[in-house]
Structure 1
Amino acid sequence: MLNPVIQVEGLRCSYGDFEAVRGIDFEVARGELFGLLGTNGAGKTTTMEAVEGLRAASGGTVRVLGSDPFTDRRTIRPRVGIMLQDSGFPGELTVAEMVGFWRSTSSRTSDAAEAVEVLDLAHRRDVRIKQLSGGERRRLDLLLATLGRPEVLFLDEPTTGLDPESRLRVWEVVRGLLDEGTTIVLTTHYLEEAESLAHRIAIMSEGRIAVAGRVADVLARQPARIAFHVPAGFDVGELPMLSGDVVHEPSGRIEVRTGELQRDLGDLLDWARRDGRSLVGLRANHASLEDVFHAVRTEEKAMSR
């Protein structure tokens, strides 16, 4: 990758004798959204803290905008936005007061009124932070993290506690920032969020990166699925020759797990049309991040035995 905005090489982070991050490497390009995923305890939060400059690495190197985010914090902090899982903002301040204070500390100007409108907080301007709902506080956290139009933005579980409509609104804001060239690192437990927003992802397991790459390439590592129902007494041998594995469940549901989704689906549809058959409840899907995540967890458990 040419001139990455974020570059992590051999990163190690320890808590006493426990090594939470065990020598990981990744890069993030300008204008890219990089999703860092993993189960609780996988090491992703510790990794984020090191890249954000909130903790020193035990080993390896971290560079953000060409500088060490921990030792050169004053240099890069004005160019970076951080949305933590828990901001800890003073509960007695109103939304307007907090936004005004935060804007006064930023060296980069932005339209605070527009940001308040976009994140649906205009009607809560005079409400104290401690009186906001959990979802409203998360939207305020995002507003403040993006207020100075940062070059690099770290989003740590940004939509936790949000209702579906608010989550989609946050997604719109994130896509707008990407269109403007902002580089974003995202952690989330909502796998569909990473699948929808990320250009590339890395899935951590036990302090290491188990899977990484473009989202489409990561999904392609797991088989796609075709499913439909057949009547009682159906003989699986009547199906056309398919490249994938065919599972006939007692309920009458047939599932085809395949690495050639387009070819096998086409063959199935041609066969059904020739024989005048109806594929009831037909569904065809590429693998999801949930499938990839499950495969990583299964391998992790197998190795720990």
Structure 2
Amino acid sequence: MIAIRFHGRGGQGAKTASRIVGTAAFLEGFVAQDSPIYGAERRGAPVAAYTRIAQEPIRERGLIAHPDLVVVADASLITDAAARVLDGIDEHTAVFVNSPLSDVECRAQTSLPGRVVTLDLTGIALQQFGARGALSALLGAVAARLAGLRQESIREAIARELADLGISAQVIERNQAVAAQCSDAVQPLLFDAGALRPAAPVQLQAPTYEPPTRGTARISAAGNSILRETGGWRTFRPVLVPDKCNGCWLCFAYCPDGVISMTKEDRPVIDYDHCKGCQICIHECPTDALVAEREKEGGVAWKAK
């Protein structure tokens, strides 16, 4: 069995990518299983998805503790302890990172113990689709290729999964073409079946009854969201173009996290420590005074056009 774990942020398509891999494996006659896990559906929040591929019935369920392949849609997740990207990774694990850094540079910066493969899928999506380009088809195609699946199966899986999302045939065909280019840029990995580790036994715990004074949800402390800096969730940050701003305050009103304040001159100031990069302010700005700028990685910055 090959166990693949996807890590991404809400809106990057990790869930759909895992389904593309599972569907491609199913089309080739394998037994496949895929499932996502996430909390509140918030753009930028860490999410995970799991795909298992085997020739025999798969009896394991739930999260993948010891993956053979880890697919990271956003390199900033590697250093985010809450995302737990590094859990279960050892020298037998292959890791794909969506990053403009080379394999060697990424390994040096992250100290990943396994085999590391990198490709700048975000840059390719920006070039081919624009600022709103989705990563799901590209992530799924690369992961499926690394797992040794055929291009024909990957192409058909992309068509099926994107069609289920209501995407037009023309857009699907474009996604298939770009995804094929991305998957051609990587080579299939060889997974040693003898290196697969058996699942660790789980100690079941019997639940005990708690009285309402302990078991009922309640607020027992003042708000502490200010202590949780969520700026690391961003892939793109909103940046103000002062000459275009007319001081309408719409960005302030629409910000779901209240991280935009206004100056005496009616100009927005963004708290980047807590801005999640949802880009609602950018889409609501009537004068295009707010633009998306790709976050820095490795000392280089990219701007979305």
| Higher-strand-fraction structure | 1
TM range (shorter): under 0.3
Give the number of the structure whose alpha-carbon radius of gyration is greater.
Answer: 1
| TM-score, normalised with respect to structure 1 | 0.24
Q: Taking CA–CA contacts closer than 8 Å with sequence separation of 6 or more, which of the two structures ends up with the larger relative contact order?
A: 1
